[in-house]
Amino acid sequence: MYLERVTAKDFLSYTSFDVAFSDGLNVIYGMNAAGKTNLADAVYLSSLGRSSRHPKDKDLIKWGAENGCSVACTVKTRFSRHTVEVTVGADGKKRVYIDRLPVKRIGELMGAIGTVFFAPSETKLVRGAPEDRRRFVDIALSQQNKSYFYTLKRYSSLLKQRNKVLKEYRGGAMTEHYLNIVDADLVQAGAYVGKCRRAFIAELESLAAARHAAMTGGKEKLSLKYESDAGESAAEFGEKLRASRANDMRLEFTGVGVHRDDLKIAVGGVDLRKFGSQGQQRTAALSLKLAETDVFELRTGERPILILDDVLSELDPERREGLFAAVKGMQTLLTCTDPPEISGAKYYHVTDGKIIRE
C-alpha cells in the first residue's frame, strides 16, 4: 500500500495543502508547533475516521474557517487506487467518502488505508492501563478484519445492556430473565473477540521479538502473553459469566469478559508494565508497532503506511540507526525537528503553514 497524495482545506493549522509522497522514507521536519503532527493526523484521520489527538471532530476545523474542513488521501494498492475523503461541516458533523461514495458505517473504512501510528505518547501501550493495550490490539485487528470490528462493537453494546440490567433491576426474577437473554449473545461475541486476539498475539510475538532484537543488538528478549479471564470458548465464557452472576448483581457491573483482557509485555522475563525503564518501555512499544506492520502484510498482502511522529528525540543514536534499518523498504512518514541525513529519503519542510518538498 502506497500513500500517493494528501490534500486538506482548513484543517487544524493549515489553510490548505497538497502533498505527494514517495514510497520510501519521507522526512517531515520543522520547528515545534509548525504543523508536522497535523499533517500526520490528516493521514490517521483518513485511515480510522477519527483524529489521533482531537476527540471532538469540530476541533479539526481551522480557527476562523466558516465552512468546515476536509482531508483526502489517495492510496495505491497492488490491484487498485482509491481516495478516502473526510469532511467536517461547520456544524461539526463528519462525513466519510471512498471514491466519492458516502460511507454509511465507519467499519466500511477499516483497511482502506492501512496505517500504523507511533508517537512518544504511545509508550502507554506498555506502561499504561490494560485498556491501552486492548486498544492497540483492537485497532490493529479492525484494520485487518472488518468482522472483528463489527463483533467488537456488538460486544460493547451488549456489555452496556448487561450492565444497565444489573443497575436497574437489582436482582430478582426479571434480572435473571434479562441476563439470560443478553448473556447468550454476549458469550458468542466475546468468544470471537478473544479468539481473534489470541491468534493475533501469537503471530505478533515472534515478529515483535525479532524487531526488538534488531533494535537492541539481541541483548534482550521480548515476550508477550495474552491474559484473559473469559476462557477460550463460548462455553467457557458462559460458565464464567454464570459463576460470577451473583457477584455482578451485587456490584452492578460485569466483572468477567474480554473487556478486561490484558497483554503482558516482558523483556528478559521482567514485566515491563511494572518494572521496565522508560528506554525499555519505549523500545518495546516501538517493536510492537513495527511488528504490527509485519502482521498486516502477512494477513492482507499489503504493507501499511508507518507514521512515526516525533520519535527521534526519544531514541539514543544506536536505537535511531536500528529504527532507520527497520523501516527500510516500507513507506514511512517521519516527523522531527532536526532532519537526519538518510540516503534515499525525501524531505519536506513545514514552515509558515506551508509544506515544501525539497
For residue range 226-267, what is the model confidence (pLDDT) as tens digits? 999 999 999 999 999 999 999 999 999 999 999 999 999 999
| Cα–Cα distance, 348 to 352 (Å, whole number) | 13
The annotation status of 195 as a binding-site residue, yes or no, is: no
Q: Summarize pLDDT for 293-343 with one digit per residue, the tens.
A: 999 999 999 999 999 999 998 888 888 888 999 999 899 999 999 999 999
Fold of 123-300: Glutathione S-transferase Yfyf (Class Pi); Chain A, domain 2 (1.20.1050)
Coil vs helix vs strand at 30:
coil
User: At 146, is the pLDDT very low, low, confident or very high (cuts 50, 70, 90)?
Assistant: very high
CA distance 346 to 38: 19
Q: pTM, whole model, 2 decimals?
A: 0.94
- CATH 3.40.50.300 domain locations along the chain: 1-114+302-358
Residue-by-residue DSSP string for 306-325: EEEES-GGGS-HHHHHHHHH
- Write down the CATH number for the domain with range 1-114+302-358: 3.40.50.300
User: For residues 333 and 229, what is the distance between their CA atoms, to the nearest angstrom?
Assistant: 38
Name the nearest CA neighbour of 319 among 187, 177, 248, 215: 215
* Partner residues linked to 308 by β-bridges: 118, 334
Confidence at residue 195, expressed as pLDDT on a 0 to 100 scale: 98
Burial class (CB in 10 A: 0-12, 13-18, 19+), 97: middle
The answer, yes or no, to whether residue 172 has pLDDT greater than 80, is no
Tell whether residue 175 is among the known ligand binding residues: no
Q: Give the model confidence (pLDDT) of 197-237 as tens digits.
A: 999 999 999 999 999 999 888 888 999 999 999 999 999 99
For residue 58, say whether it is annotated as part of any ligand binding site: no
| pLDDT value, residue 259 | 98
Which single residue is written with the C-alpha cell 485487518?
A: 144
Closest residue by Cα to residue 145 from 177, 193, 102: 193
Contact (Cβ atoms closer than 8 angstroms) between residue 302 and residue 295: no
Amino acid 101: pLDDT: 97
**CATH 1.20.1050.90 boundaries in the chain:** 123-300
Cβ neighbours, 10 Å, residue 119: 17
Q: Confirm or deny that 72 is annotated as ligand binding.
A: no
Cβ-Cβ contacts under 8 Å for 119 (sequence gap 6 or more)? 37, 52, 308, 309, 310, 311
Neighbours of 233 (CB within 10 A): 13
Residue 334: count other Cβ atoms within 10 Å of its Cβ.
Answer: 26
Q: What is the pLDDT of residue 219?
A: 81
199 annotated among ligand-binding-site residues: no
Displacement of CA 140 from its chain's centroid (Å): 6
CA trace torsion 174, 175, 181, 187 (10° rounding): -170
Helix or strand run (H / E) with residue 117: strand 115-118
- Rounded Cα distance between 211 and 220, Å, is 11
Closest by CA position to 99, among listed 85, 87, 80: 85
In contact, 37 and 310? CB cutoff 8 Å: yes
Q: Apex CA 284: angle with CA 281 and CA 287, to 5°? A: 150
Distance in angstroms (rounded) separating the CA atoms of residues 263 and 106: 26
pLDDT at site 216: 87
Query: From CA 357, how far away is CA 307, in angstroms rounded?
Result: 18
* 174 assigned ligand-binding residue: no
Facing residues of 351 across strands? Answer: 354
Report helix, strand or coil for 328. coil
Count of other CB atoms within 10 angstroms of residue 89 = 15
d(CA 292, CA 79): 22
